[in-house]
């Protein structure tokens, strides 16, 4: 429903990047600082293949053609169509999953925009937590390992803006 859609996008996407903007513009994130964002591989870019209009732009995000403004336009269209009976087949059905793909793309775009900072997205994996009802293939501590790795280890400069899982670079 629209409340779930709006709440999910607010928490996973807008809240994350509003905070990032405040940290950068307010000088709280120092040059060379890292912003590490939790994302997910629950859905990857291939789930957007159903959208003939935007799949090319989204999947070719490294070409430089996808901008923050264009991503916001796509998200706006997604919000208006994902529950529209005539148009929802053009989008991945789970708002959570869609929001996490948008998060990963925005991390990449931020890295290109703010070259003095490091931005990374990562998937903790399917962790045994209250959110998953205790199901999962790893503990929360194991899920946090990649985030800690990104915070503390020397990551190659060319991997700024990239997506990681299990301490490894992973394609979206």
Full pLDDT tens readout for the chain, 172 residues: 889 999 999 999 999 999 999 999 999 999 999 999 999 987 678 888 889 899 999 999 999 999 999 999 999 999 999 989 899 898 988 898 899 999 999 999 999 999 999 999 999 999 999 988 999 999 999 999 999 999 999 999 999 999 999 999 998 8
pLDDT at 1: 80
Angstrom distance (rounded) from CA 32 to CA 39: 22
CA 82 to chain CA centroid, nearest Å:
18
pTM: 0.92
Residue with token string 């503990």: 139
Angstrom distance (rounded) from CA 1 to CA 163: 29
Angstrom distance (rounded) from CA 172 to CA 98: 12
């Amino acid at each position: 429903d629209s409340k779930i859609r709006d709440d999910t996008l607010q928490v996973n996407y807008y809240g994350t990047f509003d905070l990032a903007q405040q940290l950068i513009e307010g000088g709280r994130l120092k040059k060379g600082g890292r912003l590490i964002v939790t994302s997910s591989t629950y859905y990857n870019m291939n789930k957007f293949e159903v959208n003939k209009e935007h799949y090319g732009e989204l999947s070719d995000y490294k070409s430089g053609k996808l901008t923050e403004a264009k991503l916001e336009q796509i998200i706006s269209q997604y919000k208006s169509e994902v529950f529209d009976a005539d148009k929802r087949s053009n989008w991945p059905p789970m708002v959570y999953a869609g929001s996490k793909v948008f998060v990963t793309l925005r991390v990449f775009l931020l890295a290109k925009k703010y070259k003095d900072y490091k931005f990374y997205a990562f998937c903790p994996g399917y962790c045994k937590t209250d959110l998953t009802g205790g199901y999962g293939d790893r503990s929360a501590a194991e899920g946090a390992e990649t985030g800690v790795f990104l915070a503390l280890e020397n990551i190659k400069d060319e991997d700024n803006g990239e997506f990681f899982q299990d301490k490894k670079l992973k394609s979206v």
